[in-house]
Amino acid sequence: MSLLNVEEITASYGASQALFGVSLTVAPGEVVALMGRNGMGKTTTIRCICRMLPVQSGTIAFDGQVLNRMPSHRAAQLGIGLVPEGRRCFANLTVAENLLAAARSGHWTFDTVSGLFPRLAERRHQSAASLSGGEQQMLAIGRALMTNPRLLILDEATEGLAPIVRQEIWAAVSRLKAETALAILVVDKSLKELRAVADRAVIVQRGEQVWSGAMDALTDDLTDRYLGV
Ligand code: ATP
């Protein structure tokens, strides 16, 4: 059964409508890729799920509870962990302080997050500002995990990172999939890596869902049509 159930949502920025009907589900243990070219509505969909943008119509339900009018901090408390685009951390706090500031009780602690990303333990006393881009991304994922979410949302987590660091991030996502019951929703442009880790994909185009299905049903024809440049 799905943990997150988004049905036909619409949303606007002021007078400009950005979503015209997006639906998706994510079940525990499942990785779902939300795909589409630039500016098609992926981040907007995530903002709606995390309650940072009002939903005009349609329904967002999490574990059977309708979130449409819930404030974002309540959605986070329910178990939605967001790794936002741009890997926001507290620049002046140390790695350990960043992680501990996000902590809620559960499996994910400083030690278990360090097991996933050993570099965070090595850098525990350094300020977040002094980390490399890849390390900051690990810290952003670690912060989201420290809230002990049931749904983890990764928005462009590998963007702008060196190939070797991207591989580390993907390896961590694969481990989360294999070793936990987290539901994972991922927005990323790395088609090859998404093919390896995601179970299903949802494609949006100009704010509308145009395709959804199993990852292995996503043919080259479809990627050319909806994701090609
Ligand atoms: P990208 O890969 O470039 O991040 P995206 O698929 O995540 O793209 P969105 O950021 O969701 O796309 O943008 C969807 C539409 O909403 C675009 O037309 C964009 O210009 C518009 N939009 C996004 N954020 C805002 C905002 N804060 N104010 C007004 N319009 C916005």
pLDDT in the model for residue 229: 64
- What is the average per-residue pLDDT within 178-205? 96
pLDDT tens profile 94-134? 999 999 999 999 999 999 999 999 999 999 999 999 999 99
| CA 87 – ligand 1 centroid, Å | 17
CATH ID of 4-79+150-226, from 3.20.20.100, 3.40.50.300, 1.10.3720.10, 3.20.20.210 = 3.40.50.300
Q: Give the span between the Cα atoms of 149 and 164, in whole angstroms.
A: 27
| CA 53 – ligand 1 centroid, Å | 12
- What is the average per-residue pLDDT within 66-80? 94
- What is the average per-residue pLDDT within 80-107? 92
Choosing from 19, 22, 35, 42 the residue with most ligand 1 atoms within 8 A of its CB, the one to mutate for a pocket test is: 42
Choosing from 9, 10, 34, 44 the residue with most ligand 1 atoms within 8 A of its CB, the one to mutate for a pocket test is: 44
pLDDT band at 87 (very low <50, low <70, confident <90, very high): confident
Q: Give the span between the Cα atoms of 84 and 106, in whole angstroms.
A: 22
Task: Kindly state if the Cβ of 40 falls inside 6 Å of ligand 1.
Answer: yes
Burial of 164 from C-beta contacts in 10 A (0-12 / 13-18 / 19+): exposed
- What is the average per-residue pLDDT within 203-225? 95
Task: Kindly state if the Cβ of 36 falls inside 6 Å of ligand 1.
Answer: yes
DSSP 185-222: EEE-S-HHHHHHH-SEEEEEETTEEEEEEEGGG--HHH
The pLDDT mean for the chain works out to: 95
Q: Give the span between the Cα atoms of 119 and 164, in whole angstroms.
A: 14
- What is the average per-residue pLDDT within 58-65? 96
Q: Give the span between the Cα atoms of 30 and 68, in whole angstroms.
A: 23
Cross-strand pairs, 82? 153
Per-domain residue ranges of the chain = 4-79+150-226, 91-145
Res 44 pLDDT > 90: yes
Please report, rounded to a whole number, the percentage of residues in the chain having pLDDT higher than 90.
95
Task: Kindly state if the Cβ of 13 falls inside 6 Å of ligand 1.
Answer: yes
